[in-house]
Amino acid sequence: MRAVLLILALSLVLSGPALSAPKDDPAARLGVVEALIPRLEKQLDQQREQAAKAAKDEAEGVEKVLTAQVQGVRDLLLLLATLLPLAGGLGGLFTYSKAKREARQQAKEEMETIRAQATAALDQARQELEAAMAELARITQARCEAEEHNAAAEKARHDAEDHSERVRALAQGTAQLTPDEANRADQALASPSPASMTTHSTVELISLAVRALDTHRHAEAEQALITLTRRRPDDSLGWMLRARLRLEQHRPAEALDAAARAHSVAKDDQSKADASGWRGDALAAVGDRAGAAEAWDQSRAGMEALAQAYPDVSGYRRDLAIAWIRVGEGLQDRGAAENAYLQAETILHQQISGDPDQAQTVRSLAGVLRRRAGLSKTQADGQGLLDQAGELLGRARTLDPDDCLIRRDVAWLRAAWGDGHLRGGDQAQARTCWAEAVATWEAMDKAGTLDWYGRRPLAEYRAKLGRDDPPPSA
C-alpha cells in the first residue's frame, strides 16, 4: 500500500508543489512527499469508499437483473412445461410453427382434392340424374300407353260380359226347349242365312248371337252363328257359342262336337280354357261325369295359369273363380266340392276388396255362399251362409238395380231356403219357397230376361214341385 502511495507521491512531486522543491535537495523533496502522504491516504480512503459503494450498487443492480432473469427463466420453463405435452417435447416446441404451417398446407391441398372430386362426382350424378329422368319419362309414357291399352281391353272385356257372362261362366245343364222353339231352330238350320247377315262385321255377328241367346231367340242366334263360322271357321268363340246354342236346344251330342271344334282351333290359352269348359258341359249333358270333371279341371288349370302369369288382369282371376265353381258343381265328393267353392270364395273376396263396386263380382260371391250352404253339415251353418248371401245380393242390387241376373239369383236363394226348410223337416215351408222361386223364374222366362243358366234351376225346382208341364217361354 505504501509503495502505491509513494508512487502517487512521486507523481505529485513531479507535478504541482513538488516542483517547487529544490532539485538539488533530495531531502527537501522527500519531506514534501511525506507531507503529502496523509492527504493522499484520505483521498484514497474516499475513493475506496466510493468504489465500494459503486460496487455495492452495481452488485445490487446485477442481483436485480439476475433475479429478473431467473424469474424469466422460471416463466419460460413453466411455459415449456405447458407446451411440451402439446408440442410433443422440447423438439416439438421448436418445430410446432413449422408443423402447423405444413399441416395447413396439406389440409388445403386435401380440401382442393376433395373439392375437385366432389365437383366431378356432382357432375356425374347430375348426368346420371338427367339420364334417369329421361328413362323415367320414357317408362312413364310407356306405362301410360299400357294403361290406356289395358283400360281399352278391360272396357271391351266388360262390354262382352255385359252381353253375356255365360260365355265364360258355363252351365252344368240346360232346360228342355218347347216344341215351337225346336221347330224354329230346325227351320233356321234348313234355310240360308238372310242376306242382311253378310253385311255385319264379325264383332256385330258375335253381339247379335249373344243377345239372341240371352233372350231365347234361337233362330236369330243360329243365323248369326252360321254366318260367323262360315266366314271365320277358325274362330273358337263362334264354335263355343254354337255349343251353347246346342245345349239350350237340348242337343248335347252336337254341343260336344262344337266344343271339340272350338278347342281344336283355339289359338290362345284363354280360348283353350273356355273351350275345355264347354266340352265339360257337353260331356255332362251326355252323361259322362268323369269326362266332364276332367274337362272342367283342364279349364280350371288353364285359367289358373293365366291368372298367375297376368296377376294384374282382374278378369283372369274372376274367370278362375268361375272355373272353381264349375269344378265344385261337378264333384261328387262333398269335401272336395267344399274346397273348390272355398277357392272361388277366396278369389272373389280379393276381387271385391280391390273393387268393391263390381255388382257382378258381389253377385258371384253370393252364389258361392249359396252353394256352400247346400253342403253345410248343420242347418244353422247353412242358414248363416244363406243370410250372408242375401246381404250380398242386396248390396249387388243397390250397385246395379237393372241387372236381371241379380233377380234370377235372388229367386235361386229363395229356392235354397226351401232346401234348408226341407232339411229341418218343414216340407210345407220348403214348397212355399220353391213355388216363389219358380214363379219368379217363369215370369223372367216369359219376359225373355231369364238366361240359359237360369233355366236349369227352373226345371229342377219345377220337378221338385211335381210340375211336369213345360214352363212358359217368350
Q: pLDDT of 291-320, one tens digit each? A: 988 999 999 999 999 999 998 888 899 999
Are the beta carbons of 445 and 419 closer than 8 angstroms? no
User: Which band of pLDDT confidence, cut at 50, 70 and 90, is reported for residue 251?
Assistant: confident
Which residue has cell 248390396?
A: 395
User: Residue 45: inside a domain, yes or no?
Assistant: yes
The span from the CA of 386 to the CA of 373, in Å, is 6
User: Residue 35: inside a domain, yes or no?
Assistant: yes
3-state helix, strand, coil in the chain (%, to 5): 85, 0, 15
User: Residue 270: inside a domain, yes or no?
Assistant: yes
Q: What is the pLDDT of residue 17?
A: 47
Residues 51 and 173 in one domain: no
Which residue has cell 265328393?
A: 333
User: Residue 162: inside a domain, yes or no?
Assistant: no
Most confident of 16-30, 117-131, 169-183, 283-297: 283-297
Q: What is the DSSP letter of 137?
A: H
pLDDT higher than 80, residue 411 = yes
* Residue bearing the bigger pLDDT, 254 or 17: 254
Cα 461 to chain centroid distance, Å, stands at 48
Q: What is the pLDDT of residue 119?
A: 80
pLDDT higher than 80, residue 283 = yes
Last residue within a domain, chosen from 31, 55, 79: 55
C-alpha cell at 167: 260365355
User: Which band of pLDDT confidence, cut at 50, 70 and 90, is reported for residue 161?
Assistant: very low
Q: Which of 464, 408, 28 minimizes the C-alpha distance to 214? A: 408
Q: What is the pLDDT of residue 13?
A: 44
Residues 51 and 171 in one domain: no
Q: What is the pLDDT of residue 101?
A: 72
Domain count, the chain: 2
Last residue within a domain, chosen from 250, 274, 309: 309
User: Residue 75: inside a domain, yes or no?
Assistant: no
Cβ-proximal residues to 461 (8 Å cutoff; 6+ apart), any chain: 415, 418, 434, 437, 438, 441
User: Which band of pLDDT confidence, cut at 50, 70 and 90, is reported for residue 29?
Assistant: low
Range with the poorest average pLDDT among 72-81, 250-259, 314-323, 415-424: 72-81
pLDDT higher than 60, residue 415 = yes
User: Which band of pLDDT confidence, cut at 50, 70 and 90, is reported for residue 151?
Assistant: low
Range with the poorest average pLDDT among 16-20, 55-59, 233-237, 418-422: 16-20
The span from the CA of 29 to the CA of 15, in Å, is 12
Averaged pLDDT of the chain? 77
User: Which band of pLDDT confidence, cut at 50, 70 and 90, is reported for residue 422?
Assistant: very high
Measured CA to CA in angstroms, residue 387 lies from 229, 366, 368, 370 at distances of 45, 10, 13, 9
Range with the poorest average pLDDT among 57-66, 97-106, 221-230: 57-66
Query: 45-78 burial, b for 16+ CB within 10 Å, e for fewer?
Result: eeeeeeeeeeeeeeeeeeeeeeeeeeeeeeeeee
Q: What is the pLDDT of residue 435?
A: 96
Measured CA to CA in angstroms, residue 249 lies from 11, 213, 242, 246 at distances of 176, 11, 10, 5
Q: Is pTM beyond 0.85 here? A: no
Q: Which of 313, 150, 128 minimizes the C-alpha distance to 136? A: 128
Q: What is the DSSP letter of 191?
A: S
Reduce the DSSP state of residue 450 to 3 states and report it. coil
Which amino acid type is present at position 316?
Y
Residues 175 and 47 in one domain: no
pLDDT higher than 50, residue 16 = no
User: Residue 365: inside a domain, yes or no?
Assistant: no
Taking residue 422's Cβ as centre, other Cβ atoms within 10 Å add up to 17
Range of the domain at 301: 167-309
Q: What is the pLDDT of residue 352?
A: 93
| Residue 27, CB-side half-sphere exposure with 13 Å CA sphere | 0
User: Residue 224: inside a domain, yes or no?
Assistant: yes
pLDDT higher than 80, residue 149 = no
Diameter of the chain by CA atoms?
A: 202
pLDDT higher than 80, residue 447 = yes
Please give the average per-residue pLDDT across 422-444, as a whole number.
94
Taking residue 328's Cβ as centre, other Cβ atoms within 10 Å add up to 23
C-alpha cell at 129: 340424374
- Interior angle at CA 212, CA 211 and CA 216, nearest 5: 120
Most confident of 3-7, 155-159, 425-429: 425-429
Please give the average per-residue pLDDT across 60-85, as a whole number.
60
User: Which band of pLDDT confidence, cut at 50, 70 and 90, is reported for residue 342?
Assistant: very high
Q: What is the DSSP letter of 469?
A: S
Which residue has cell 278347342?
A: 263
pLDDT higher than 50, residue 133 = yes
Q: What is the pLDDT of residue 185?
A: 41
Q: What is the pLDDT of residue 48?
A: 72
Give pLDDT tens digits for 186-232.
444 444 344 455 667 888 888 888 888 877 788 899 999 999 999 99
Give the chain's count of helices (H) and strands (E). Answer: 17, 0
The span from the CA of 191 to the CA of 145, in Å, is 47
Range with the poorest average pLDDT among 114-128, 276-290, 371-385, 410-424: 114-128
* Residue bearing the bigger pLDDT, 143 or 394: 394
Last residue within a domain, chosen from 247, 282, 309: 309
C-alpha cell at 18: 513538488
Count of residues in the chain: 474
Q: What is the pLDDT of residue 190?
A: 42
User: Which band of pLDDT confidence, cut at 50, 70 and 90, is reported for residue 74?
Assistant: low
Residue 354 burial (10 A CB sphere; 0-12, 13-18, 19+): exposed
Are the beta carbons of 269 and 305 closer than 8 angstroms? yes
User: Residue 158: inside a domain, yes or no?
Assistant: no
What percentage of residues in the chain have a pLDDT greater than 70?
A: 66
Are the beta carbons of 251 and 181 closer than 8 angstroms? no
Q: What CATH number should be reported for the domain holding residue 236?
A: 1.25.40.10
Q: What is the pLDDT of residue 9?
A: 47
Q: Which of 380, 365, 279, 257 minimizes the C-alpha distance to 330? A: 279
